[in-house]
Structure 1
């Protein structure tokens, strides 16, 4: 059952990601999402500042979040949404001075743009290599509905759930628009690290995140 679901999800994601934008309906027209692929920040002089975790097999969190963010942005745009990426394939590095200020600046961008929602993407890490599962964090009451939708759709990844709770983080506290921080799995878990690195999983992750956003914000 799990294998069939993953194959079906991967096939659908591939079709959506390769479909010409002009052939897609626009259920999310009029929306604006800020998608924040976590980490990937250097100082002005090029020193690492906010690079994120690296798994045992050398997979970097910042590269996983960037790939999922790009896939998610494409799905959202095909549905008619306007999307702003805080990092992209054309600009994979952010420039910052302090980690906390860098994180707050990402959410502050969503505030300035009056975004429909802000979605921060991360991959968790723990000293316990057996730790596994996705997590959803939010803070303000205007984010509860989105957080619940994310939680429901992330179950399709079959990674288990680590945490689902209100949490005062730099991005969730700074954001005034609906905001969630998603942990896509544990990059410190060798099995989940390898999974997170695969384009097939990245596309599946983007698809379930898209489905959650569509559930909440698509025109009826």
Structure 2
């Protein structure tokens, strides 16, 4: 669907869209830590020993979805692992290497970096279920057996605020109840991360009902969307606190050296930035990119027949310009997404099971973000009716292993096939028709 929209726009304006690397929203970085990996599988949950789907798989699936959302929102996103891998031969060494990687990534930009470790829980009692958030809190004192990194001690108040924001946002967004709540703990990764940090337990794989939910593409997308919302809320509050303490509204960020300068006025920031190469100016509060001498403008106004009319670093400026003309569209040139148009139809719609169409928009992220606020909603392509997401309908595509059974499900065929290709002896099945749509064995 995305490709069809891009092709249509290319024909209309007579040019090609090129995707460029996404830079940080005002230098803000999110480091994602999908827990476990490789031989460290995490919990097998209720059925993992039979299906081969372990906690490490669920952690990575959510982290990848969250990464994709955050990158589109303009954050710099790094992951401690992007594949099924371990970092050492022992669990303790593996944890240390994760923290080392995260801290190296935050070097020089700790003030604008956060660490999110993504996990799923388990108990012997299979009735236990629910979402939980863990963090290190210096207010609880230091356990000499589990000493924190001194830098985490400094950031502990922000870790608390991050945990509170994440916890409340996730409970509002997820179809799971609260588990033991928000927990002050001495977990290795959170007490040693040299930036604000939390560890989330999205639910209990040891609970059979919750395990079925946690493995679905719909839940994983909801979890990613909820975490993205929490991260944005946290950074908004963080910037407000920084501005309140300094009064400064703009900052100059260097491509490799991080924040160089902050100022009260835009003119001061621009004057300073222009003395350097590879610098950008961002608003402190919103993280909006205001000016750069090396990054391309992000939002482009294109006319149906005249091509490019205008470009800007800020969506609102491009929207304001586009609305002065007929037959215009605003494109995010980094992602190729259609953000707005006064002549092209919307691309996605949110439908309620009984109330019908609730909302139409141009981007999938916007549609899902709206849909998760309701129960019994689904997101469809307006063009061909393709189902992209739902919080009540079963996913139509299933990845089935020859001996392990169901491994994964998705609303999108491409995603199911890509997952199946990671395994030998897998097939992708249309659940409604039992038709085999793809297979890597006879």
TM-score by length of 2: 0.41
1:205 corresponds, among 213, 223, 228, to 223
Counterpart residue number, 1:126: 123
Counterpart residue number, 2:57: 63
Counterpart CA distance in 1 for 2:33 and 2:225 is 16
Q: CA RMSD in A?
A: 2.3
More helix by percentage = 1
Query: Bigger CA drift: 95-104 or 203-212?
Result: 95-104
Deviation sequence 1:136-191 (CA, Å, 0-9, x none): 00003230111011111111213111231211011012112001000000000001
Counterpart residue number, 1:152: 168
User: Shift of residue 31 of structure 1?
Assistant: 1.0
The answer on whether the counterparts of 1:28 and 1:214 sit within 8 Å (CA) in structure 2 is no
1:179 and 2:169 are equivalent in the alignment? no
Deviation sequence 1:61-118 (CA, Å, 0-9, x none): 1111110000000111001111111121xx3213312212211321222222225100
2:132 corresponds, among 132, 135, 144, to 135
Query: Bigger CA drift: 100-109 or 112-121?
Result: 100-109
Counterpart CA distance in 1 for 2:209 and 2:115 is 29
Where in structure 2 are the equivalents of 1:1-220 lying within 5 Å? Answer: 28-41=25-38, 48=39, 50-58=40-48, 59-88=53-82, 91-114=83-106, 115=110, 116-139=113-136, 140-155=156-171, 156-162=173-179, 163-218=181-236, 219-220=285-286
Counterpart CA distance in 2 for 1:121 and 1:142 is 18
Query: Bigger CA drift: 148-157 or 104-113?
Result: 104-113
User: Shift of residue 26 of structure 1?
Assistant: 8.5
The answer on whether the counterparts of 2:31 and 2:102 sit within 8 Å (CA) in structure 1 is yes
Secondary structure in structure 2 of the residue aligned to 1:165:
strand
Counterpart CA distance in 2 for 1:72 and 1:28 is 15
Counterpart CA distance in 2 for 1:26 and 1:87 is 20
Aligned residues: 192
Counterpart CA distance in 1 for 2:118 and 2:164 is 16
The answer on whether the counterparts of 1:125 and 1:187 sit within 8 Å (CA) in structure 2 is yes
Counterpart CA distance in 2 for 1:75 and 1:189 is 28
TM-score by length of 1: 0.80
For structure 2, the residue ranges without an aligned partner over 5 or more in a row are: 7-16, 137-155, 237-284, 287-442
Query: Bigger CA drift: 59-68 or 94-103?
Result: 94-103
> Structure 1 29/21 Cα, relative in aligned 2: closer, same or farther at 3 Å?
farther
Counterpart CA distance in 2 for 1:101 and 1:26 is 32
Secondary structure in structure 2 of the residue aligned to 1:182:
strand
Greater relative contact order (CA < 8 Å, ≥ 6 in sequence): 1
Counterpart CA distance in 2 for 1:53 and 1:193 is 11
The answer on whether the counterparts of 1:150 and 1:212 sit within 8 Å (CA) in structure 2 is yes
The answer on whether the counterparts of 1:110 and 1:117 sit within 8 Å (CA) in structure 2 is no
Counterpart CA distance in 1 for 2:215 and 2:127 is 18
